[in-house]
């Protein structure tokens, strides 16, 4: 494990870390903010999964989360969105919604992706194990959030691991990838044409199949250009209502898909998670 950079912020430490990953067979980079409270006791962890084209750097530089994390004593971890490096395959057409920067938080089974694109194993197993071993983290208290493709990842990870996470939220998530172009392209490319294999990576399908969490918080912008074709928050609303899962879905006039939107409501999400992370 190599610390690439370290900066003091809000009394805590913002690190960018690189390590060799067994899951992806590449070096992986993540950022982690350690609030000042870690000097006295292990702190709970909030995972943040980023969206298409992003690395760890987008939320680290634009997310405006450190003040809230320092206030509430929450460690904030932001992994990359895909494997990277020499020899890692990319989309032949160079599109932004598949390949590098677009791992979709699945373990690929199709060639040539299967050797490296194992982001599910990375974010659910390998990276948590590393965080537990190397940082003063209270792994009995974890929550998860994310944006767009990362919102999809956060929701599906939480629904597949309901006993691990105290809470789950999302910013503009892709809630039904099996039903929208971004998701159909990614799931078919990484997992093949058997749609049954897609269901554990589809929030709406998981809920319809009986998966559940205690509650969900979602924020979307009414001016998000992807809301009608790719995000489809109304499908999550319908599934949660049918399943009896409490959903707080907030639609904000004038806000789009960008980090201007995310940073506006980031402190709300951190406070919401912090309240649940403090419960016994």
Query: Per DSSP, what are the bridge partners of residue 171?
Result: 147, 219
Please identify which of the residues 72, 147, 152, 257 carries the catalytic annotation: 257
| Residue 7, H or E segment | strand 2-9
| Cα of 227 vs its chain's centroid, Å | 18
Indicate the SS3 state at residue 185.
helix
End-to-end Cα, the chain, rounded Å: 33
Please identify which of the residues 224, 239, 269, 273 carries the catalytic annotation: 224
The candidate with the shortest Cα–Cα distance to 77, out of 86, 69, 88, is 69
Q: Is 56 a catalytic residue?
A: no
Instruction: Give the integer Cα–Cα distance in Å for 185 and 188.
Output: 5
Q: Is 161 a catalytic residue?
A: no
Please name the residue ranges forming H helices in the chain. Answer: 56-62, 66-72, 119-121, 127-134, 149-160, 181-191, 203-208, 233-243, 259-277
Please identify which of the residues 50, 82, 148, 239 carries the catalytic annotation: 148
Q: Is 257 a catalytic residue?
A: yes
Question: Which residues are catalytically annotated?
Answer: 148, 224, 257
């Amino acid at each position: 494990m190599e610390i690439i950079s370290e900066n003091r912020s809000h009394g805590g430490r913002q690190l960018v870390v690189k390590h060799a990953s067994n899951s992806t067979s590449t070096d992986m980079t993540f950022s982690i903010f350690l609030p000042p409270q870690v000097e006295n006791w292990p702190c709970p962890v909030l995972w943040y999964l980023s969206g298409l084209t992003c690395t760890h750097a987008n939320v680290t530089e634009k997310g405006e989360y450190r003040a809230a994390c320092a206030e509430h004593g929450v460690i904030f971890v932001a992994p990359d969105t895909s494997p990277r490096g020499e020899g890692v395959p990319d989309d032949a057409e160079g599109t932004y919604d598949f390949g590098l920067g677009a791992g979709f938080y699945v373990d690929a089974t199709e060639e040539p992706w299967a050797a490296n694109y194992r982001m599910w194993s990375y974010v659910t197993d390998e990276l948590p194990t590393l965080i537990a071993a190397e940082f003063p983290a209270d792994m009995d208290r974890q929550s998860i959030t994310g944006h767009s493709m990362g919102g999809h990842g956060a929701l599906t990870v939480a629904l597949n691991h309901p006993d691990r996470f105290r809470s789950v939220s999302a910013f503009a998530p892709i809630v039904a990838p099996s039903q929208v172009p971004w998701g159909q392209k990614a799931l078919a490319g990484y997992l093949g044409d058997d749609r049954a294999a897609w269901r554990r990576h589809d929030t709406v399908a998981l809920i319809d199949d009986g998966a559940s969490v205690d509650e969900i918080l979602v924020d979307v912008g009414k001016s998000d250009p992807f809301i009608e074709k790719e995000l489809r928050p109304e499908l999550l609303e319908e599934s949660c209502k049918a399943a009896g899962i409490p959903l707080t879905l907030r639609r904000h006039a004038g806000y789009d898909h960008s980090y201007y939107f995310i940073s506006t409501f980031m402190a709300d999400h951190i406070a919401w998670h912090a309240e649940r992370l403090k419960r016994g």
